[in-house]
Amino acid sequence: MSSRQLSPILVAALIACSGSATTPTPTPTATVASVVVTPTSLTLVPGQGGTLTATPKDAAGATVSGKTVTWSGDAGSVATVSASGVVTAVGAGSANISATVDNKSGTVAVTVTEGGYIGTAGGTITAMSGAVTLVIPSGAIGSSTVFGVEAASGTPANSRLLGGTTFTITPSTAFSQDATLRLRYGSGPGAGVVVPQLRIARLVGTTWTELAVVGVDQTARLVNGAVTAGGTYGVFLPPPSLRGYAQQRSFKIGAAVDPTRWATDAQYAAILGAEFNSVVAENVMKWDVLHPQQASYNFAPGDQFIDLAVAQGMEARGHVLLWHSQLPTWLTAGSWTRTTLLAVLKSHIETVVARYRGKITSWDVANEVLADDGSGVRPTIWTTTIGPDAIDSAFAWARRTDPDAKLYLNDYAIEGPGAKTDALMALVTRLQTAGIPIDGVGFQAHLTMTPPSRAQFDGVLALIAAKNLDSRYTELDVRVPDASPASALDQQATIYGTVISACLAQARCRGVTTWGITDKLSWIPSVFAGFGRALPFDLNYAPKPAYTTLLALLGAGLSP
Ligand code: 9MR
């Protein structure tokens, strides 16, 4: 036997000796056999907290005191748990939270449902993976509230409801101030949907009721609505509109506007936003508004016009750079030479076109430069002091300042054949031969009840297309004698229809702009006494037969 191989007897003796000699007998400590966590399950909404309690038990079920509990849970995407067992819900889902004592654990399932917990100071709930956001302002709810959000089921069908966007927010208690609801739209809207016109609708009983358009964030694909309570909401498509149909055809349907009214008259703004994808300033980009003193510009109204157009996703046209009307008195009363007036014109065009570079898609560079009698260029301050080449220079400076803007020659009484139209073609030919950058011809189309025929409209549009130029109807209205019977409005509608049909049939005709929206604000009665009712919306902004005809023709063969 080696020295390392002790006999079993000796080992037993050694153990007995050491135990009794150096270690006192310990007080028996109860062994933890299980850990009981209460409550047994916990359901919260994001932002809401709950407290868990862990109780270690021995094998007999008695509580073991004096033990340290360690809490652990998921990585924190659903809920977090503190060292003292306080759970805070983070995002929808379920997670197991465990309490561990001496290697024994108890687990509880924490379920976080869609919704949020908001106190009286207000806050934001983001639910359904960002498809629903509810922003409650401070003071809008009287006490802290748990809001639930779930996909709305069994909602009444509506062909204007965008699939996958209906949600129910509980409770439906009213807020004392409007909250903002944002619903995300997916790739659902088709080409004809005017995205800035998407709106939120609320289910009231079995009826979907639209909320006013508050705004659409096209980058985040969110439709915003002001809501006064919980309830069932969904995204609504706008009704069929000139704008929706025009969009599907890559066509421009425009209106001349007054930005002040646009910003202050909700009814006007609603019609514009719904029906038009192109705007032109009826007055605020003219010399008298834009350039009131030789040394100073007044850009505020023009800027407002551009900002509104951008916010509404509309094309903005520029009107006007070279015109003999609505000029400031410093200009009309000044004494000019060819050289000094050319300098004034150059500086104005460069300043204005640069200011709106990239924001104006096309400019009426030269307006009404043709003499009414067809004799050629109209004698004006510009064309007499500078000469007819004032027109050439205006186009050249505009092109140099904004190479991307389309440059138009714009005039009236050239929609059909005649001496003035012949003079138009001669001027176009001269400009093109001289290498002047002209892109299109604008036909104002301030029409009477006896306009050119469809064939005549077609013929002139074809002449312009043959010059490799675009065309547009830029100031369309059809004045009706005040004394006419109601049926005159049907006749007027036919004329509107003829114009838009001619444009739609000519590939180079880019769009139709009406000179205003409503008869209430039309320039016609103040200039043509005894005439009015020239526009597609009446004095009370109601659509007229002209509107119905435009809608039918633009929408022919398309789905809304
Ligand atoms: O509609 C415009 C009206 O409010 C102005 O008082 C007027 C001043 O000349 O200009 C009107 O618009 C004109 C446009 O600028 C050019 N073509 C003829 C339009 C109707 O007169």
Protein residue whose Cα sits closest to atom 12 of ligand 1 = 282
Asked whether residue 17 carries a pLDDT value surpassing 60, the answer given is no
Q: Are 329 and 335 in contact (CB under 8 A)?
A: no
> Given ligand 1 and candidates 475, 517, 520, which is best to mutate, with the most ligand atoms within 8 Å of its CB?
475
> 443: burial class by Cβ within 10 Å (0-12, 13-18, 19+)?
buried
Check the CA dihedral 129-189-195-541 and report its sign.
negative
Protein residue whose Cα sits closest to atom 21 of ligand 1 = 523
Beta strands in 16-85 (DSSP E): 34-38, 41-44, 49-51, 53-57, 70-72, 79-81
- Rounded distance, CA 478 to CA 496, Å? 8
- Rounded distance, CA 254 to CA 440, Å? 16
367-397, pLDDT tens digit by residue? Answer: 999 999 999 999 999 999 999 999 999 999 9
**Amino acid at the residue 471:** S
Say which of 114, 315, 415, 475 is annotated catalytic.
475
pLDDT in the model for residue 256: 98
Mean pLDDT of 519-539: 97
* Phi-psi map region of 215: left, alpha, beta (phi>0 left; psi -120 to 50 alpha): left
Q: Is 3 helix (H, G, I), strand (E, B) or coil?
A: coil
Asked whether residue 398 carries a pLDDT value surpassing 60, the answer given is yes
What global pTM score does this model have? 0.81
For the CA atoms of the chain, what is the radius of gyration? Answer: 38
* DSSP 8-state secondary structure symbol assigned to residue 196: G
- Rounded distance, CA 416 to CA 555, Å? 26
- Residue at token pair 């358009």: 213
Asked whether residue 4 carries a pLDDT value surpassing 50, the answer given is no
Which residue ranges have their beta carbon within 6 Å of ligand 1? 282-283, 325-326, 367, 444, 475, 523
Question: Ligand 1 centroid vs 406 CA: distance in angstroms?
Answer: 21
Mean pLDDT of 210-217: 87
Return the ligand 1 atom nearest residue 444 CA: 17
pLDDT in the model for residue 188: 62
Question: Ligand 1 centroid vs 281 CA: distance in angstroms?
Answer: 10
- Residue at token pair 């197991």: 96
182-193, pLDDT tens digit by residue? Answer: 999 987 677 778
Beta carbons within 10 angstroms of residue 192's beta carbon: 20
Band (124; pLDDT cuts 50, 70, 90)? very high
209, two tokens? 């009721």
* DSSP 8-state secondary structure symbol assigned to residue 557: T
Asked whether residue 202 carries a pLDDT value surpassing 70, the answer given is yes
85, two tokens? 């067992």
Question: Ligand 1 centroid vs 478 CA: distance in angstroms?
Answer: 15
- Residue at token pair 């008869």: 519
Asked whether residue 313 carries a pLDDT value surpassing 70, the answer given is yes
Question: Ligand 1 centroid vs 279 CA: distance in angstroms?
Answer: 15
Question: Ligand 1 centroid vs 181 CA: distance in angstroms?
Answer: 42
Asked whether residue 424 carries a pLDDT value surpassing 80, the answer given is yes
- Rounded distance, CA 218 to CA 282, Å? 28
Asked whether residue 20 carries a pLDDT value surpassing 50, the answer given is no
Protein residue whose Cα sits closest to atom 20 of ligand 1 = 523
> Given ligand 1 and candidates 280, 283, 526, which is best to mutate, with the most ligand atoms within 8 Å of its CB?
283
pLDDT in the model for residue 18: 42
> Known catalytic residue: 368?
yes
DSSP 216-275: EETTTTEEEEEEEEEEEEEEEPPPS-HHHHHHHTT-EEEEEE-HHHHHH-HHHHHHHHHH
Q: Are 60 and 73 in contact (CB under 8 A)?
A: no
Return the ligand 1 atom nearest residue 286 CA: 15
Which residues make beta-bridge pairs with 434? Answer: none
Mean pLDDT of 241-268: 96
Question: Ligand 1 centroid vs 523 CA: distance in angstroms?
Answer: 7
Give the chain's domains with CATH numbers: 34-112 (2.60.40.1080), 115-236 (2.60.220.30), 242-555 (3.20.20.80)
64-113, pLDDT tens digit by residue? Answer: 999 999 999 876 789 999 999 999 999 999 999 999 999 999 999 999 99
Mean pLDDT of 190-203: 89
Return the ligand 1 atom nearest residue 325 CA: 9
Asked whether residue 24 carries a pLDDT value surpassing 50, the answer given is no
466-487, pLDDT tens digit by residue? Answer: 999 999 999 999 999 999 999 9
- Higher per-residue confidence, 436 vs 7: 436
pLDDT in the model for residue 419: 98
- Rounded distance, CA 534 to CA 480, Å? 6
Mean pLDDT of 24-28: 45
Which residues make beta-bridge pairs with 471? Answer: 441, 509
Say which of 114, 275, 282, 368 is annotated catalytic.
368
Question: Ligand 1 centroid vs 282 CA: distance in angstroms?
Answer: 7
Protein residue whose Cα sits closest to atom 16 of ligand 1 = 367
Mean pLDDT of 434-450: 98
pLDDT in the model for residue 30: 84
Asked whether residue 21 carries a pLDDT value surpassing 90, the answer given is no
Protein residue whose Cα sits closest to atom 1 of ligand 1 = 523
- Residue at token pair 């006419």: 484
Percent of the chain with pLDDT over 70: 94
Q: What is the mean pLDDT of the chain?
A: 93
